[in-house]
Chain A
């Protein structure tokens, strides 16, 4: 069964550094998402992406964050200048449709540790 793949599985970076988290969504999916999960807290929506543009973003997704789908295959999340509080699991998800009964498929996440 096709799956969403994320790389790297674990990224350690120093505060202030830029990081790029990579995702390969399922090939025939059109809707793409990033979520994050700080240790011990709920999964939080960051951003949704459709038709090569952001369709919705949360308050967390400030100017330090950006997303890109550079080649029709990869979907990336960039954090320009990481902060300690950016340490979390970051999950990419994709869906065939953006409708209420369309399931999302999640990757296994990238654990980002900012030191």
Chain B
């Protein structure tokens, strides 16, 4: 089947710390991979995506690389800010293209 597993939170970091949120997936075929971010009281917004193996998605200082060999798509940021506090979701869409599969979400709190 298709599924996404991401590290459980909550995660609390000090400002300027390095962030890694792990994500691994199981999928038939060759899925596209996504990271979405949900700020308090809002809907989900696309943060970055990658559509094929070895692609790197990047946005707002966040990066993730599509690793087919380890079926992973870990999210990283070199220096987090208080404004990065949110819930982060890893997701995939399989090659039939009609359903997104989301991980359970990881809550990040960045303290000054």
Partners in one complex: no
